[in-house]
Structure 1
């Protein structure tokens, strides 16, 4: 079952429409200007175990979720399905402790390195990618 904090619905649901003004950001102006958000005001956040490099999961953040992540030491996401903020571990105890946050070169994705306590996936697996490999032709360097 997905995790949640107390419902808060003042995030992207308040509407970032293509071509419309971007709502005031809770982030420092320089950082807010570097973000390239999707039509819903979100950026993808790839979550990685800081010491092993394992990719744990992908979540979505708006400016407020990123601000909370940068200032609290815990990862906060925006739930696109529930239209509310949530923190991994608030109900399960499987907390993600922030170790670093990086913005990619295009400004449209974040790499959040964490110390994951317990399972990262809501299915109970260590990562959201465990046991889900697809058949693919393996490429080789010439």
Structure 2
């Protein structure tokens, strides 16, 4: 006589029942890991692209916005997968950094004429005094319409 749960059919179904929760947890961890990698890659890509000259800053803004979205998804998935507190904390800090990156790059893109004027000035500046003049022009928002009125 066979015992219930043994044999080819019975042992497989018992194995499947034991592995199903492990597989689901493994899938949640793998999904969280994928979103964490997407978050990191888009964040660092956005940081790199935001330091480029103006037409490429738009790419930095797009990557920073994607990093924000991917970071939120990664944070939710990391909490759902019950990853360590360190992962959750570092993802939260990365989200804060992505928010600052998005804001800074967004302002540079929104103030396109001012940023263009500053970048042109810095590309021509050969001395420290010329660089200081470029910084002062940036602080006065030269190129923003009324910035050139006082000159």
TM-score bin (small chain): under 0.3
Larger Rg: 2
Name whichever structure is richer in strand by fraction: 1
Name whichever structure is richer in helix by fraction: 2
